[in-house]
Amino acid sequence: MSVVIDDLHFAYETDPVLNGIATTARPGRIVALIGPNASGKSTLLRCIIGQLTPARGSVLLDGRATHRTPPHRLARRMAYVTQRSTVAASFTVRQVVEIGRFALPNRPDRVDDAIERLDLAEVADRPYPALSVGQQQRVMLARAVAQLGHDGVLVLDEPTSAMDLAHVRMTASLLRELASNGATIIWAVHDVSLAARVASDAWLLADGRLVDDGSICDVMNAEQLSRVFAVGFEWMNRPDGSAVLIADA
């Protein structure tokens, strides 16, 4: 299920944020959305999920503009994990994950599977507000996994920012698995080195414009990243022959 972004413009009142974004996310691929702070990443994700209405252009899912698609219909095809999620009531972890199925048939097995895959079984009956921020991020990922069909679209805004290293690795493995099963994944991430290891494609934003898009190898060249982030980057070879992207301290 491809996401097609066509000449997308967006502004908050008179303040332009996105200018002429045009690119495509395809099934079976993980797109890393990268760029400096205030480059427009979160705004672009909110346009993709139909939460914001473009000033011009469109985001199309199966040929239909997402901002014109009723939320209950969109929820059957697209799951979203926001940067900072809050749950005011003392819902348990299991209840929060079950919310992912609100527009879909009841599937307790899907809920149980998502809880297991995100390593949440031991806290499934605990109140969500009592968890650490990293655990809460895993709950929101589990909710999206319980919602997502095998060929759906998963939109993520910094889902691992508070996780410990073991759960970051677990999440990376999960994203690869979902993509291999046909999901389309769009993932905003600050850790450029992590993005280079996990994603297959990249969208590089700066000042609300798409600087480059394409395969991870093409977009994440050290010279281009250094220019956009104003920090030096270098690809280094590991003993096993793989390469890792390193930013200057």
CATH of the domain at 94: 3.40.50.300
Average pLDDT over residues 161-184: 96
Residue-level pLDDT at 128:
95
Kindly report the average pLDDT of the chain as a whole number: 94
Residue with tokens 């996401």, as numbered in its chain: 3
Residue-level pLDDT at 83:
82
Number of domains within the chain: 1
Average pLDDT over residues 198-218: 96
pLDDT digits (tens, 9 = 90+) for 108-148: 999 999 999 999 999 999 999 999 999 999 999 999 999 99
Residue-level pLDDT at 68:
96
- In terms of residue numbers, what domain contains 234? 3-247
Q: How confident is the model at residue 52 (pLDDT cuts 50, 70, 90)?
A: very high
pLDDT at 249 over 80: no
Distance CA 35, CA 242 (A): 24
